[in-house]
Amino acid sequence: MAISVEQPRRYRPPHSAGTSLDTEEHGPGVAAPRALYTVLIVLVLWILYSLLGYQTTVNAHVVVFDALDRLSRAFLVWHNDPQKLAAVGFSYPPLTTMVLLPSAIVKPIATGLIALPVTSAFFAALTVGMLDRIMARCDMPLMLRAPLVLAFAVNPMWLFYSGNGMSEAVYSAFLAIALYFFISWYVTSEPRFLIGSGLTLAVLVLTRYGFIVWAFLLCILIGVALARRQARKIEIEGSVIAFAAPVIYVLAIWILFNALIVGDPFGWVNGATSTQAVNSAGVNELSQLDFNDVAKRLLQLNVAVFPLAFLVVPGLVVAFVTQRNDMALWLSSFIVIGIVIMGADALINDREGLLTLRDSFPMMITAFVGAGWLYRSFVGARLILWIVTLVILVVGCYTAWMGMKDYPFQSLEQAYTRTLFTGKSQEGTSSRGGYTVGIDPESQMAAYVKQNVSGRDAVLTDNAKTFGVILLSGQPPKYFLRVDKGDKKWKEILNDPWGKVPYIMATNSPTSGDLVTQRYPNAVTGGTPGLTPIFATDRYTMLKVAPTAPASGSSTTGGTSRSGTGGGATSSGANAAGVAPRGTTTTRTTTVTTAP
Amino acid sequence: MNAPTATEHSRRFARQLAADSGLPFVTIDPAGADPDDYLAVNPLAARLLSEQVCRHFTMLPVSYADGVVTIVCAHVPDAVAQDIAASLTGRRVEFAIAPEPEVQWAIEDTFAAWPSSDPADPADATFTGPAPVTHPGYPTRVGDLLVARGYATDEDVAYGLAEQERTGSRLGDILVSHGVISEADLVAVLAEQFQLPVVDLTDYEPDPAALDLLPEPLTRHLRVVPLAVDQTTLYVAMADVLDDETVASLREHTNLELRGFLASRNAIDLLLQRVHGGEYVAVAKSELLSRFPDESANRVITGAQKAFFIIVLLVLIVCLILWLKTTAIVVMAICSLFYLTTSFYKFWLTYDALGHTYEIDVTPEELDAIDERDLPMYTILVPLYREAAVIPRLVGGIGGLDYPKTKLDVRLLCEEDDDETVPAILAMNLPPHFKLVVVPDAQPKTKPKACNYGLLQADGEYVVIYDAEDRPDPDQLKKVVAAFRKSDSAITCIQAKLNYFNADQNLLTRWFTTEYSMWFDLMLPGLDAQGVPIPLGGTSNHFITDRLIDLAAWDPFNVTEDADLGIRLHKAGYKTAMIDSTTYEEANSDLQNWINQRSRWIKGYIQTWLVHMRNPAKLAGQVGPKSWFSFQMMVGGTFIFLLNPIFWGLTTLFLITQAGWIEELFPPLVFYLAAFQLFIGNFIFMYLNVAGCVQRGYFELAKWALLSPLYWGLMSLAAWKGFIQLFTNPFYWEKTVHGLDSGDHPPAAAPPARPAPASVTAREAA
């Protein structure tokens, strides 16, 4: 009988690479640095950045209140009663707070603010380690990439954000990882890198919502690049799905959480985003922005933060045109689109204050990576490109320094330059933007609470504004917070505190967004019956609550003991970093009801 | 007849002749010989030349060892004699000089009368005498004989000789394997060539007294069957002329002379099965139990385990009564922690594998460099039950293997009561490398028992199991041989990857394919890299036969005998490795069939866990803490499928009802663990299924992998079914029905075809 050899339809030799994207010859490749080498870089820089950050943040009190807020939330997760993950809140991209969770477990590390420099130092070091690997992937040998990486690592802007606990180091690290994976995928076409970049993008969008746009663009770019290489339709579809699935998933989960817990699934889009206005009152913003104004500010930012873009963007465009080099187009697009989005955001909202130094970090990272890709793309001009890159990076240190000193829309960069220059504490000094630097008012109030207040839920306060005090006191159970039993219950008590809570703590500034101050605008000056100021610092006032509701019309007077070092624009009173929601004076309620 | 002792004169003359011609001197008369010169006559080797040739040239083959025939001559053989001797024996020949009287005597003695071939004698009805040979002086090699008798053409023989040159196999075997001639034809030609009688063993009942003379292992090893015995002679059936060593073995056991009768290999195999089947099945089902009783799943749980579980249950009940909430929280916490640990471990394994290639790499150059003459015999065990419909595909799949057919030993293992498959196989008249093995009906009626049965008759240096519907990569066997040869000597098993050829049949097959892609392309290589036990796949595991037998092969009581064997291999100090070669199977496309199959797998994994955890401390001592931990995660992790519905149920109930008592079961830390697992852990596994597909190039399956959580629901359903069956019917084998795929599978890449003559292809197409 016939014995025919049938083979299965599904049979296709399994392969671990998709369609190759990089068809250019770039000369001999450089071996990837050993994992141990990268670990060593990260460890060394982590230590160095931590030490520097400790000096500037903990000793010199150059504390950015965004970071303080996040640390306070992380602290509440572990040390509040009841403990709740929901204390992370919904006003910031969640991962920027969650990265502080490990260090916040140990109370002294959190209350001593050591968690801030240690955490951001880790991510800053990781960023530098990944940038080194990216340069190696771009065929740059160790001898050449070491000076570039070093120049980046000692940039004063980078040093500031490596030690202040802000989210810039966090998302920069994930951005560097994502770019490493993406470039590796482009060079090797191994699916594992595509998967890695998808996973990293998913994490990235939870550190800075603006990267959702990046993720969307990358999906398109993956499809286009594969199509241009005549990949099968199914490979394009599968690759895009493999890349986009994690991003879509995390967004879906985040929307779900917001819907379930906050009751507003998309509130996070319009609320506190990563692009914060940092100027509270100290700098005159233009009342009406036009394109030229925005362009001028963007140029200033370009010079100060990412001067490499002047070389990289045109160079990458030339690479794309002459070599059909898709990655060159992508990298240059990211930089340009980043700039465009910043400018558009400011124009749409008519807020010059949105053009901040720190919001330029994605372009800074991408420009550095772009320089590496330029090196890879133009084999014949590598040495020149390298030299020019190095020069720009070195010059960039100077321009960064100058920008930190002078650029109006910033987050205590100026105070940082002073402390670096003088070595002195900046407590009570002012910084560009009209902020009073330091945490003495918080420390003093925290000390008062520790010494004079006892019992659970004794002090009703708006944790969205008095987080500094709560953290530094290290005793969250003493406070009755919005996160404890939810906004609804908290507001009930706020409206009728008599006999329910012994104290109320409020911020002194009527424009700070503090719900307590909004409810009782005259309380801090003693003008609210039943609420007696008993202790005040430059930013906060402790009020004694009467055991029974006062009769209407009576006034109470009471002495206050006030301590404060004075100085600074305390009347503006806002936190020293941009936590005021963009364009609003009322804080979006971050409802943190009991989570399952 | 007593041998006449050669005179001293003739002996001296012969010695001188040998010295002058450079040939060795021997004597074949034991009486007057110097022991150093004595060479015993192998009576069966003596039949390698016809009587006429022997008398004409005064020479006689006396020895056959290591492929060389030693021929004693009274005179120095000239070129014609040498040529004829080589041609007729078909082997390498060496000559020795012996005294002429001794040579003459030996010729007389060899060609004395054989048993009667009188057709009138019914007792001898089965004996057939040899056909007359060709005229003396004409070379009559096997090939010449086949052509002369009209069984084959010159073209066929030329093709066979070319393959012989390449593979080192014998011409007759090659032509039979290609279907040019039948086994019966070959036997007839060999009988003519060696002047041996042929015996038909179809309904032959050997003399029990003869059977008792040779132990079964020896008969199996030598492939001979004792047929009859008298006072001086043992009559044996054999497939080929026996060499000196074999003859010596037989004489040693019996102290009798030997007379051989030719029969086909398959006939001898079937007769051995018929005669010793009871013995084989006893070994198949009880070898592991008798040699390693602690490792047999014949008991679901031991007495000690039973006591332990009862105590734990009692303690739990008491704690629930006394401290309900705390106990419940602790239980939830333990479950969550176990869940999380398993997830992390599996994630780490698979992600690590994503970035590396841990399989043994066999390059195309290494494959091309393989000399087929050095390839060993390879046994393929194919257990079948009521699968007549897939036999043609099976034969085609094995036919597509790039391995000399003469070196394949394919054993189709059928149950005795399978009145569908056995007749179908018999009707197909398959080539002789396919052997039907009928497993006598005995409990437990399981695949591993059938495999053990088949293994007892395996000829191969290596053995592999394939299922009926399997389609291995054509070069898989060669790759495995190369891999074994270049790897650590401790490697005893090489596992190929499994995947499915009908992935796009429906949603279930797509899910199944994503799961297998992740498992075999990522998870198992990850385990391999860690040097921890690998739960083997159901098929395409290649073993070194001797070591497998040493380990008592598969546990007939375990319904996932493959996973169990992987653990036992590791415990014995052997290693398993992965290879980048795929066998394509049929993914279950029917939901009920899938649930049955999956329930058996989960039941088997739990069985395996219970067996090897009879003494946890001993297990840790045997495998080390790292492997012990891995065993808990990979095999013990099966319990997660049982936990899934509980946790999902609680989550769903809470979302709907917001019940406070559920919230209380999850205090903050426990909640964080569980929430992390729910949102992150589950996603990671779903995404790793995507990764497995993309890694393998199955881009079209990526989107279906995103629906994995639904698939996990089905797995949990099957898990509970298997768990319950573990107590109600632990050894029951849920048979997977095959042949449910759509059947439309276009050809894929086959090994480069060697040109075959038209007649060969015509016969193979017939």
Q: Give the minimum alpha-carbon distance from B752 to chain A in angstroms, rounded to a whole number.
A: 13
What's the pLDDT tens digit per position in A221-234?
Answer: 888 888 887 888 88
Judging contacts by C-beta atoms under 8 Å, the chain A residues touching residue B503 are: 10
Mean pLDDT over the full length of chain A: 82
For the record, the structure tokens of A402 come out as 């100058």
Q: Which residue has the higher pLDDT, A160 or A24?
A: A160
**In this predicted structure, what is the pLDDT of residue A133?**
94
A84: chain B residues, CB-CB within 8 Å: 668
Q: Which residues contact B466 (CB under 8 A, 6 or more apart)?
A: B380, B381, B382, B394, B397, B398, B472, B539, B540, B583
Q: Are B262 and B191 in contact (CB under 8 A)?
A: yes
A 525-554 residues inside an 8 A Cβ radius of B: none
Is the pLDDT at B536 greater than 60, yes or no? Answer: yes
Do the Cβ atoms of A71 and A117 come closer than 8 Å? no
Q: Which of residues 691-720 of B touch A (CB under 8 A)?
A: 691, 693-703, 706
C-alpha dihedral, B352 to B354 to B360 to B365, nearest 10°: -140
* Strand order across the beta sheet in which B198-199 lies: B127-128, B198-199, B257-262, B233-238, B224-229
Q: For residue B185, how many C-alpha atoms fall within 13 Å in the half-sphere facing its CB?
A: 23
Residue B575 has pLDDT above 80, yes or no: yes
Contact B68, B93 (CB under 8 A): yes
At residue A130's C-alpha, the angle toward residues A125 and A135, to 5°, is 125
Lowest-pLDDT range of B258-267, B404-413, B643-652, B742-751: B742-751
Q: Do A238 and B744 touch (CB under 8 A)?
A: no
Q: Which of the given ranges, A46-60, A497-511, B123-137, has the highest pLDDT on average?
A: A46-60
Please report the pLDDT score of residue B132 as a whole number. 32
CB atoms within 10 A of CB A434: 18
B120 touches chain A (CB under 8 A): no
Q: Of A58, A106, A151, A63, nearest to A429 (Cα)? A: A63
* pLDDT score, position A141: 92
Distance CA A339, CA A350 (A): 16
Instruction: Pick the residue of A9, A206, A243 with the most B CBs within 10 A to test the interface with B by mutation.
Output: A9
Phi, psi for B72 (deg, rounded to 5): -90, 140
Phi, psi of B237 (to 5 degrees): -95, 140
The encoded tokens of residue B349 equal 């394994």
Q: What is the mean pLDDT of residues B343-370?
A: 86
Q: How far apart are CA B498 and CA B737, in angstroms?
A: 18
Strands B127-128 and B198-199: antiparallel
Q: CA angle, corner B14, sides to B9 and B18, nearest 5?
A: 150
Give me B619's structure tokens.
Answer: 């297990």
Give yes or no for a contact between B631 and B622, defined as CB atoms under 8 angstroms apart: no
A23 touches chain B (CB under 8 A): no
The closest CB to that of B706, out of A199, A245, A596, belongs to A245
Peptide bond into B130 cis (omega under 30): no
Element (H, E) at B711: helix B708-728
- Which of B666, B690, B708 is the best substitution to test chain A (most A C-beta atoms within 10 A)? B690
Q: What is the largest CA-CA distance in chain A?
A: 111
Chain B nearest C-alpha distance from A134 (Å):
17
Q: With pLDDT > 70 as the criterion, what percentage of chain B qualifies?
A: 91
CA angle, A218 as apex, A212 and A220 as ends, to 5°?
Answer: 110
Query: For B470-499, what is each residue's pLDDT tens digit?
Result: 999 999 999 999 999 999 899 999 999 999
Count of positions (residues) in chain B? 766
Q: What whole-number distance in Å separates Cα of residue A120 and Cα of residue A207?
A: 13
From residue B754, give the alpha-carbon distance in Å to each of A223, B166, B170.
43, 11, 18
Helices marked H in B462-587 — which ranges? Answer: 476-486, 507-518, 524-530, 545-550, 561-571
Q: Is the dihedral of CA B540, B541, B544, B550 positive or negative?
A: negative
Strands B127-128 and B92-97: unpaired
Q: Which of A262-276, B66-80, B237-251, B295-309 has the lowest mean pLDDT?
A: A262-276
Q: Which of B604, B592, B607, B564 is nearest to B733 (CA)?
A: B604
What pLDDT score was predicted for residue B399? Answer: 85
Picking from A4, A85, A242, the nearest residue to B694 by CB comes out as A242
Interchain proximity A11–B699, CB inside 8 Å: no
**B400 interface with A at CB cutoff 8 Å:** yes
Partners of residue A541 on adjacent β-strands: A506, A536
CA A503 – CA A535 distance, rounded (Å): 11
Q: How distant, in Å, are the alpha carbons of B329, B651, B741 from that of B324?
A: 9, 20, 51
Write down the H helix ranges in B613-707.
Answer: 616-623, 625-634, 640-657, 660-664, 668-675, 682-696, 702-705
What's residue A554's pLDDT? 47
- Which helix or strand (DSSP H or E) is residue A451 part of? helix A440-452
Whether B679 and chain A come into contact, CB under 8 Å, resolves to: yes
Please indicate whether, in this complex, the C-beta atoms of B695 and A245 are within 8 angstroms of each other. Answer: no
3-class DSSP state for residue B383? strand
* Packing angle, helices B682-696 and A233-257, rounded to 10: 170
Arithmetic mean of pLDDT, B495-523: 91
Nearest Cα neighbor of B127 from B263, B275, B218 is B263
- Cβ neighbours around B616 below 10 Å, total: 12
- Name chain B contacts of A477, Cβ cutoff 8 Å: none
Q: What is the ipTM of this complex?
A: 0.71
Q: Does B743 touch chain A (CB under 8 A)?
A: no
CB contact under 8 A, B703 and A238: yes
A4 CA: distance to closest CA in chain B (Å): 6
B742 to chain A: closest CA residue: A9
B191-207: pLDDT as tens digits: 877 778 888 888 788 88
Could you tell me how far CA B667 lies from the centroid of its own chain?
Answer: 55
Residues A365, A347 contacting (CB under 8 angstroms): no
- For B146, the token pair is 């086949």
Q: Around Cβ A213, how many Cβ atoms within 10 Å?
A: 14
Contact A195 B691 (CB under 8 A): yes
Question: How far, in Å, CA of A549 to CA of A546, rounded?
Answer: 7
A6 inside 8 A of chain B by CB = yes
Rounded to a whole number of angstroms, the distance from the CA of B703 to the nearest CA of chain A is 7
- Residue B702 has its nearest CB partner, among A11, A83, A241, at A241
Q: What CA–CA distance (Å, rounded) separates B435 from B676?
A: 55
Of residues A266 and A491, the one with the higher pLDDT is A491
Q: Residue A207 in contact with residue A170, Cβ under 8 Å?
A: yes
* Residue A569: C-alpha distances to residues A85, A279, A434, A509, A575 (Å): 35, 13, 7, 11, 11
Contacts with B502 from chain A: Cβ below 8 Å: 8-10
Q: pLDDT tens digits for A243-269?
A: 999 999 888 888 888 887 777 888 787
Neighbours of B383 (CB within 10 A): 25
pLDDT surpassing 50 at residue A149? yes
Q: Give the residue-averaged pLDDT of B365-394.
A: 90
A324 near A315, Cβ under 8 Å?
Answer: no
Tens-place pLDDT, residues B683-722:
887 888 888 888 788 888 888 888 888 888 899 999 999 9
Q: How far is A505 from A307, CA to CA, in rounded Å? A: 46
User: Whole-angstrom Cα distance, residue A79 to residue A483?
Assistant: 13
pLDDT reported for residue B734: 73
Closest C-alpha to A591, from A126, A323, A268, A181 = A268
Q: Three-state SS string across A316-354, please?
A: HHHHHHHHCCHHHHHHHHHHHHHHHHHHHHHHHHCCHHH
